[in-house]
Amino acid sequence: MKLSTRTVFPFLLAALCLVGLPDSGRAQDTEPPPAQLPPEGRVQITVEDNQRAKMRLAYPAPRRPVSASPQLASAADELDATLRNDLRLTGVFSLQGPRELAGLRLSGDRANDFEQYRSLGNEMVLLVETKVDGARLVLEGSLYDLGSREAILRKRYVAGTELARQMAHTLSDEIVLYMTGVRGIARTSLAFTSDRDGDGIKELYLMDYDGYGQRKMSGHRSLSFSPAWAANGEGLAYVSYYSGEGASLYWVDRETGRKSPILEETAQALSPTTSPDGRRIAFARSLRGNLEIFTIDRDGAGLKRLTRSGGIDTNPAWSPRGNQLAFTSSRNGSPQIYVMDLEGKNIRRISFQSKYNDGAAWDPDARYLIYASRTRDGRRFDIVKVDVETGEQATLTAAPGSHEAPTFSPDGRFIAYESDRSGRKQIYIMTADGEPVAQLTNGSSNFGPSWSGYFDE
Amino acid sequence: MSVRRLPFAVLAALLVFSFACNKPVPPEPPVPAPEPVVTPEPPKPVEVTRPEPTPEKDPVIDPLDDDLLIAQQYAEENGLLGTVYFEFDRSELSPAARERLAKNAAFLKENDKFVVTIEGHCDERGTSEYNLALGERRSNAALDYVTELGVPSSRIRTISYGEERGACAESSESCWGKNRRAYFRLTGRN
């Protein structure tokens, strides 16, 4: 955390120079986008037709410097592999790589080569060149429409070799933004809990959205869990038992890595969620064993009680618009999902299908809630998505395995969740309509993900 | 054994044989002589060390006055303090649970120096977050009952571990049953 926040992000901003490529004989790509792309260069990817809407993209092996140090060469390899994985994970493209393109007769003549790519059904080609600038790595990426043979997008980045992955993520995000009109998520990250430190210890960890760069955040050598990012990326709230007073609330600042108590008291404080502006925390606080929802400032001021019921009220989720909380309550006998405003008024029940629902999370447009719903046989949980207005419901996961703790990506196109389908709990991602995408963790038990917002806004 | 004995037998036979042959040679004491020299030495230090540690401390210490872990172990082994178990998804006390809690309360009243933490635990079948809430309910159900029976609440703390500190790791009915519990841990003395 410390390293990534202090050095990588500011450095990235400074080091990645987004410059147009001075292409010989052709002007900058300010001209209108090619014919098959809708106006404003956007392809509308909707949940229903995202399979059909996948663009067929050729991404041949990048051009490389002939003489590069081993360090630069391996950074270029890493960049290529990262970008390829990023583009695959976007779900926007059907990708053809070096292997699929191996049979083509490429001559170096652009018109001929583009025809060759097109002959395999590709609509676009991404040409990438990695170069050396002193000790630094240069990435030049150009996306071409194979119909018009026009460049759609050109980007150039320069950075140290240790930022090879970040350079690839940045280019991928730009391409996704161009194709969908929504920023890509390749530079977001996920906080989660892991028992990899052994001895019954559970620590908070952070990883890149693709599962790389897993690093410890908490280091309390105690029980620490329930990370809850602020959507603005300032930091996250979490629960730790390390003070010896049981479950207390803490905040960790992303920039500095500094941890500070939000609330340390003998009453247990559990299941935090952070307001979109990062200023207030909603959480469950035990009053003689009965959990009620409270809100509190990040510095521990302004404690406010929202619920008053004889049942358990817990696990709140702050809506992305900031004006509502979804939460779990057993007020009617079994745990169900409800929504209320920030005064604890206008309480409305959302879940009806199962006798046990928990772990609500909002999509960034506040249209859907996703949560874990116990199956009818009582043996496992599936992730369920409900339209908050219409009540329309879809089950996104299936056997084998029990799936819980869903969290939306900041673009709303993906869901991360925990599942024990391969034995121990691991973190997976799927599309917002339940198509499997990737397993991000393995080994020890890893669970309870919280997807960050965008960091540089 | 037989291998070891063999040279001795041979030696004895040789001795008999030598006595039979050379009568005038009487003493061969240099062989037994070193033996008594070796043997008297070790018993002396043993005798010196034995009397000192034995009589004083061991029987005097009440295990309940010892280290908290020793006290805990003693109380559990003698049925003075015990764990309360719960039904699936529930935090209500069964008759068996009340019976157990009555014994726990009697122990805590009799030994009013102890501070106890009641830990609420769950099996793995709920969600992690809701299990923390359920564990909190369980620990407090136990707390309410023992305070009703006269244990001052100032000496009791509660904590919920949800499903994060299972007593048993398998996914089986018997294991789940062991994990749905309120555990009494001696955590301090007044």
DSSP string, chain B: -HHHHHHHHHHHHHHHHHHHH-TT----TTTTTHHHHHTTTTHHHHHHHTTTTSSSSTTTS-GGGS-HHHHHHHHHHTTSS--EE--TT--PPPHHHHHHHHHHHHHHHHSTTEEEEEEEE--TTS-HHHHHHHHHHHHHHHHHHHHHTT--GGGEEEEEEETTT-S--SSSHHHHHHHSEEEEEEEEE-
Written as one string, the DSSP assignment of A283-296 is EEEEETTEEEEEEE
Measured between beta carbons, which residues in chain B are less than 8 angstroms from residue A328? 129-130, 133
A73 and A40, same structural domain?
yes
A-proximal residues of B, 106-125, CB under 8 Å: 125
Task: Count how many domains chain B has.
Answer: 2
Burial of B7 per CB tally in 10 Å (0-12, 13-18, 19+): exposed
Residue B124, in any domain of the structure: yes
Indicate if the pLDDT at residue B21 is higher than 80: no
Residue B152, in any domain of the structure: yes
A260 and A134, same structural domain?
no
Judged by CB atoms closer than 8 Å, whether chains meet at A358 and B126 is answered as yes
A-proximal residues of B, 131-170, CB under 8 Å: 132-134, 136-137, 139-141, 143-144, 157-161, 164-165
A129 and A94, same structural domain?
yes
Question: pLDDT tens digits, residue range B154-180?
Answer: 999 999 999 999 999 888 999 999 999
Query: Domain limits at B26?
Result: 2-49
Residue B165, in any domain of the structure: yes
A344 and A286, same structural domain?
yes
Alpha-carbon distance values, A289 to A246, A266, A313 (Å): 13, 12, 11
Q: Within an 8 Å CB–CB cutoff, is residue A153 touching chain B?
A: no
Q: How far apart are the first and last CA of chain A?
A: 19
B138 and B75, same structural domain?
yes
pLDDT at B57: 56
> Treating both helix axes as pointing N-terminal to C-terminal, what angle do B95-110 and B128-148 enclose, rounded to 10 degrees?
60
Indicate if the pLDDT at residue B24 is higher than 50: no
Residue A456, in any domain of the structure: no
Q: Within an 8 Å CB–CB cutoff, is residue A190 touching chain B?
A: no
We report the CATH number of the domain holding residue A349 as: 2.120.10.30
pTM tops 0.90: no
Judged by CB atoms closer than 8 Å, whether chains meet at A328 and B130 is answered as yes
A371 and A290, same structural domain?
yes
Low-confidence stretches of chain A (pLDDT < 50) are: 1-50
Nearest to B157 among A266, A315, A381 (CB): A266
More confident residue, B59 or A180: A180
Judged by CB atoms closer than 8 Å, whether chains meet at B132 and A314 is answered as yes
Closest-CA distance of chain A to residue B159, Å: 6
A119 and A244, same structural domain?
no
The residue assigned the tokens 């098959």 is: A36
Judged by CB atoms closer than 8 Å, whether chains meet at A246 and B144 is answered as no
Q: Within an 8 Å CB–CB cutoff, is residue A404 touching chain B?
A: yes
More confident residue, B22 or A38: B22
We report the CATH number of the domain holding residue B164 as: 3.30.1330.60
Mutating which of B124, B125, B130, B137 best tests the A interface, going by the most A Cβ atoms within 10 A? B130
Residue B20, in any domain of the structure: yes
Query: Domain limits at A370?
Result: 189-451
Closest-CA distance of chain B to residue A450, Å: 13
Of the three residues A180, A209, A230, the one that is the final residue of a domain is: A180
B-proximal residues of A, 22-41, CB under 8 Å: none
- Strands (DSSP E) contained in A46-172 are 55-58, 93-96, 124-133, 136-145, 151-160
B122 and B34, same structural domain?
no
- pLDDT-wise least confident of B59-63, B77-81, B166-170: B59-63
We report the CATH number of the domain holding residue A147 as: 3.40.50.10070
Q: Which DSSP symbol is given to A163? A: G
pLDDT at B58: 59
A152 and A200, same structural domain?
no
Using alpha carbons, select from B72, B75, B82, B94 the residue that is nearest to residue B182.
Answer: B82
Judged by CB atoms closer than 8 Å, whether chains meet at A289 and B139 is answered as yes
Closest-CA distance of chain A to residue B106, Å: 22
